[in-house]
Amino acid sequence: MSWQRAPVVAALVAAFSEAAEHVAVFKVSPATVNPPALVCVDPVTVTKRTSAMSVDQTDFAVTAIVALDQADELSALLDTADSAVMADPTLGKTVWAATPIEYRNFRLLTIGGAEYRAADLIIRIDL
């Protein structure tokens, strides 16, 4: 399979929405946000034709966002998203394999003039 953002993001949104009903899940970066939220951002990298012809691999970033004073909740949200991917590593048979590989880029984030706490879950996806 070749890298295509739309089906991968749709599968991630479905998995996250099912795993965390109280969390807003976005396919693209929103202009405003009401945390907690998960935002399917973009691939960090896309490597074409990795282990075999027509097998692409991407490291895809999903940003977790919580209120500024919720550091522990940020870790829990990252764990929830991680578990949602590991519950079905094929993302409903959309990909060969999806594996959360790291939490990174812990930071303060400003959206629409408000400050939030955020971090990225990086998911390695083989298509």
Residue with tokens 């590991």: 86
Tell me which CATH homologous superfamily contains domain 5-126: Phage minor tail protein U (3.30.70.1700)
Contact 59, 101 (CB under 8 A): yes
Q: Could you say which DSSP state residue 49 is in?
A: S
Q: Report pTM.
A: 0.92
Residues 6 or more apart whose Cβ sits within 8 Å of residue 6: none
Residue 2 has pLDDT above 80, yes or no: no
| pLDDT at position 38 | 98
Question: pLDDT tens-digit profile of 83-120?
Answer: 999 999 999 999 999 999 999 999 999 988 999 999 99
d(CA 49, CA 115): 40
Question: pLDDT tens-digit profile of 30-55?
Answer: 888 999 999 999 899 888 877 666 78
Contact 9, 40 (CB under 8 A): yes
